[in-house]
Amino acid sequence: MTHKELVVSALENGTVLDHIPAQYVYKALDLLGLKDIESQITIGINLASKIYGKKGIIKIADKFFEDEELNKLALIAPKATVNIIRDFKVVEKKMLETPEEVVGIARCKNPKCVTNHQPIKTKFATIQNGDEISLKCHYCEKISSIKHAL
Q: What is the CA radius of gyration of the chain?
A: 17
| Cβ proximity to other proteins, 63 vs 109, nearer residue | 109
DSSP conformational letter for 36: G
| Cβ proximity to other proteins, 54 vs 142, nearer residue | 142
Q: Shortest gap between Cβ of 101 and other proteins (angstroms)?
A: 15
HSE value, Cβ hemisphere, 13 Å, CA-based, for 100: 0
Q: Shortest gap between Cβ of 150 and other proteins (angstroms)?
A: 19
| Cβ proximity to other proteins, 94 vs 123, nearer residue | 123
Angle at 125 between CA 123 and CA 129, to 5 degrees: 145
- Using alpha carbons, list the distances in angstroms from residue 89 to 58, 85, 135: 17, 5, 37
Q: Shortest gap between Cβ of 71 and other proteins (angstroms)?
A: 24
Which chain residues interact with other proteins by CB under 8 A? 108, 110, 112-115, 117-120, 137-143
